[in-house]
Structure 1
Amino acid sequence: MKKKIILFVLLLSGLQINAQAKVLKSVNEAGDVATFELDCTVKFQTLAKGLRYNITRHEFKGPEMKNSYRLLLVMDGFYSKTLNKEMTISAVLSDGTVIEARKIIEDDGFFDGACTLKIKDPKALLEANIDKVIVHADKEVVYTLSEQNKAIFKKNLNNIIIAK
């Protein structure tokens, strides 16, 4: 019985480590732009093995200004020598939608492993799952997401959307 309790406590603590992040809020000096982002001061959230992320929302004052959402992807240890001067990073959603960004390669010819994707419709991203992230370079690198990471991503995205 004691072994089962210890195992249960360890399982719960493991889930807490991978749980959703807090949302940090900051406002610029003029007070017209608020920024909401995941707390990555300790560590980035994990999307897949070797792929971490942060979500940021910029909220602009005024009726004509819309919120902008960005998904920062960081690939651990990804320093690919590429043949061209740019590469494409794609997030493939379960409904077939592809969110894409082009990254200009640094002067030394290496990709540093970080890329920002613009999220045009965050509510649609809540409805669909990101199934995989593909880095198109000299070879394609595919990151496949687990169900647990998809659920945590959705919670984090929702927290960014509703943050005040």
Structure 2
Amino acid sequence: MKKVIAMFVFLMIGLQVHAQARVLKEVNEAGDVATFELDCTVKFQTLAKGLRYNITRHEFKGPEMKNSYRLLLVMDGFYSKTLNDSMTISAVLSDGNIIEARKIIEDDGFFDGACTLKIKDPKALLAANIVKVIVHADKDVVYTLSEQNKAIFKKNLNAILTAK
């Protein structure tokens, strides 16, 4: 019985460890920009069913330049034919704030399923939860996040914020 419990505990710890992605660091040849991003070489992290993500931080040297943070959203199998030449993707936060981006529709009239949201205040995003992501197209598509995915997202965002 003790062996079964011990195996179960190690399995749960293993799942927790593998849930959070590693942070990759890259410095350009001039040495003035460092890039920190989640390791998506094997797979992207999941935000909701059908919605994957990556977080990137560009760190610039010098007092006049600020770090920039981006959240790449990839919608699995999401292709929408719209009449407009652009569409809006919104991340709704638990504190009521909304992070939005406009995506230009390809020349053939289709959205390719990827969008990058600029994160202006990553610490505020860390304090709040993303409740849902809405793709405003010919019809609104809503992705609702589970509590587990919210927790993993926060761990990944914190890892990007604190990476050196």
- Normalised by the size of structure 1, how large is the TM-score? 0.93
Identify the residue that residue 152 of structure 1 maps to in structure 2: 152
- Whether the 8 Å CA contact 1:18–1:45 is kept in 2: the answer is no
Looking at structure 2, the residues matched to 138 and 18 of structure 1 have their Cα atoms a distance apart, in angstroms, of 37
Aligned partners of 1:138, 1:55: CA distance in 2, in Å? Answer: 27
AA paired with 1:122? Answer: P
Does residue 132 of the first structure (1) align with residue 132 of the second (2)?
yes
Aligned Cα root-mean-square deviation (Å): 1.9
* Offset, 1:29: 1.0
**Superimposed CA distance per residue, residues 81-139 of structure 1 (whole angstroms, 9 cap, x where no aligned partner):** 11211100000000000000000000111100000000000000011000000000000
The runs of 5 or more residues in structure 1 that have no matched partner are none
Corresponding residue number in structure 1 for 2:100 = 100
Equivalent residue letter for 2:106: E
Aligned 8 A contact 1:36 1:57 in 2: yes
Runs (4+) of structure 1 exceeding 6 A deviation are: none
For structure 2, the 5+ residue unaligned runs are none
Q: Distance in 1 between matches of 2:15 and 2:51?
A: 18
User: How many positions carry a matched residue from both structures?
Assistant: 164
Match of 2:52 in 1: 52
C-alpha offsets along residues 37-92 of structure 1, whole Å, 9 cap, x if unaligned? 00000000000000000000000000111000000000000011112111000000
Aligned pairs for 1:8-87 within 5 A: 8=8, 12=12, 15-16=15-16, 19-87=19-87
Tell me, yes or no, if the aligned pair for 1:36 and 1:58 is still in contact at 8 Å: yes
Separation of aligned partners in 2, 1:110 and 1:53: 20
TM-score when scaled to structure 2?
A: 0.93
8-17 or 94-103: which moved more?
8-17
Instruction: Render the CA deviation track for 1:4-49: whole Å, top value 9, x for unaligned.
Output: 5498269527734861100000011111000000000000000000
**2-side partners of 1:157 and 1:36: how far apart?**
11
